[in-house]
Amino acid sequence: MEPIVSLPHLELKLTLNKQFTPKMSALLGFVITFLALSVALGSATSAKIPEFIKSMKCADCSMNKDCDIETTGFYCPLDVDRVEIHYNPDGNISTGLGYLADCMAPHYYFYNKKSISHICCFWSPVIGCRQVRNLGAQKAPCDTCANWNWSPNLHHVGCPCQEKEGTKRKKKKGKGSSTKLTHCGIVSMIVIHLVQQMICQPLLLKQ
């Protein structure tokens, strides 16, 4: 026999518990399941990144924002690093590079699954001019990867950068302003010289 509760506020409390307990249980179960899946996915994502990848990072290449790229390639200053980078035209295996995929051109990968010892430059129309650096290596500014004197007839040693149209217009505008200032300076010097001549000539005649 169920106990009879005569107090009105206790009867109301029991009624509320009967109505909301299943919903609260379902919500609690959903939260627990969601958290478990999040932890599992996080562990799986972390497991996909090999240890040698974690010893490298994408360098800050914001200074290369005006570098316009039309081709795809890479360059490593050191031969020992250059042999580690290979290209696979049949498939994009950059998907296994983790966060380094943001600064490596598509289809490039580490052949021996070893990290580079210093830096390597990568470029493509999508990523622009980027740099991968070993965490333990001496820092090298990312603009060392940008080759602004690139020519198709020469073997380039960095990103084949071409100036973006907006940058060219700004530089031309700045150059014109500089030329105007130079002209003003020359005119001022001529005027000062003429004034000096006008003052000094009468004095010389009096002597």
In the predicted model, what is the mean pLDDT of residues 33-53?
A: 61
Please give the residue range of the domain that contains residue 26. 17-48
Please report the pLDDT score of residue 22 as a whole number: 65
Across residues 184-204, what is the average pLDDT? 53
Using CA atoms, how far apart are residues 207 and 33, in angstroms rounded to an integer? 108
Confidence of residue 184 (pLDDT cuts 50, 70, 90): very low
Identify whether 108 is part of a domain. yes
Residue 96, amino acid = G
Query: What distance in Å separates the CA atoms of residue 57 and residue 133, rounded to the nearest whole number?
Result: 6
Strand 146-147 with 159-160, pairing: parallel
Q: Are residues 59 and 160 in the same domain?
A: yes
Closest CA to 146 of 162, 165, 127, 135: 162
Q: Do 80 and 149 share a domain, yes or no? A: yes
User: Do 43 and 63 have their domain in common?
Assistant: no
- Tell me: do 67 and 152 sit in the same domain: yes
pLDDT digits (tens, 9 = 90+) for 80-128: 999 999 998 876 565 678 999 999 998 999 999 999 999 999 999 999 9
The candidate with the shortest Cα–Cα distance to 93, out of 110, 80, 78, is: 110
Q: If you compute the radius of gyration of the chain from its CA atoms, what whole number of angstroms results?
A: 35
Beta bridge partners of residue 86, listed in sequence order: 109
The pLDDT, as a whole number, for residue 182 is: 36
Q: Which residues partner with 159 through β-bridges?
A: 146
Residues 101 and 146 in one domain: yes
Mean pLDDT of 162-181: 54
Is residue 5 situated within a structural domain?
A: no
Residue 124: its pLDDT value, please?
Answer: 95
Predicted local distance difference test score (pLDDT) of residue 39: 46
Distances (CA, A) of 28 to 21, 25, 35: 10, 5, 11
pLDDT tens digits along 2-26: 444 454 444 444 444 555 566 666 6
pLDDT, one tens digit per residue, over 58-82 is: 999 999 999 999 999 999 999 999 9
Residues 140-161: pLDDT tens digits? 899 999 998 777 776 668 999 9
